[in-house]
Amino acid sequence: MPGKCILILLDGAGDRSYRRLGHQPPLQAAATPVLDRLAALGCSGLSHPAAQGQALPSENAHFAMFGYAPEHFPGRGALEVLGAGMALDKATVAILAHLASLKRADRHLLTDDKPPCTVVEADQLFAQINPWEKAGVRIDFTRTERVRSILTLRGDVCPWVTDTDPVTQGRPWTHLVPPETAALMKKWRIAARLKKCREEG
């Protein structure tokens, strides 16, 4: 075994088979001479970080691949905060956030891809709505990369917050849980909208 090795993870490479590709998934149908050579020179395998066939989010799967137990996973938000070089303490709840375009269909809000805004426009938006504080809870919205961002909540806030991203474009935006955090976030969004309207005249 060499003293150093390179681990290559084909994260997100899985796909469905397509008739136009001879009923193969895209990766199998693609010409991959570099990957083929790497595979021939090294070792390849399949990893099932949870139950066989169970798909995990990338961050959970990577965490398990490096030998950590699931109960020690700190959450995607915490990893994003630390990766961005921001401070994190036990009184802070960190949430990964993306700017997204939404459209209304019947009684649902549907995701409609990433907003066509520049980094400068995103920074202007963040500057308009930061910070927000009410009832002993402070919310900060920090851009990290393009329209990727982090929400930090400080105060008496539940650390267990569900994901609202339906992953698939055009699907309804899922409800946030727990209800107390959802109500807090709704007040924050309303306050941000009112502040933006006042500044625009």
DSSP state of 175: P
pLDDT cut 90: percent of the chain above it: 8
Say whether both 82 and 69 belong to one domain: no
Q: Say how far apart CA 87 and CA 78 lie, in whole Å.
A: 10
Residue (of 26, 30, 29, 22) closest to 13 by Cα position: 26
Say whether both 184 and 158 belong to one domain: yes
Task: Answer yes or no: is 41 within a domain.
Answer: yes
Task: State residue 21's pLDDT score.
Answer: 93
Residue (of 117, 115, 108, 125) closest to 166 by Cα position: 108
Say whether both 59 and 104 belong to one domain: no
Task: Answer yes or no: is 64 within a domain.
Answer: yes
Q: Say how far apart CA 191 and CA 7 lie, in whole Å.
A: 46
Q: Which of 73, 103, 125 is the last residue of a domain?
A: 73
Query: What is the count of structural domains for the chain?
Result: 2
User: Which neighbouring-strand residues pair with 137?
Assistant: 134
Say whether both 157 and 193 belong to one domain: yes
Neighbours of 37 (CB within 10 A): 10
pLDDT tier at 19, thresholds 50, 70, 90: very high
pLDDT tens across 120-157, in order?
Answer: 887 887 777 778 888 888 888 888 877 778 888 888 88
Say whether both 127 and 45 belong to one domain: no
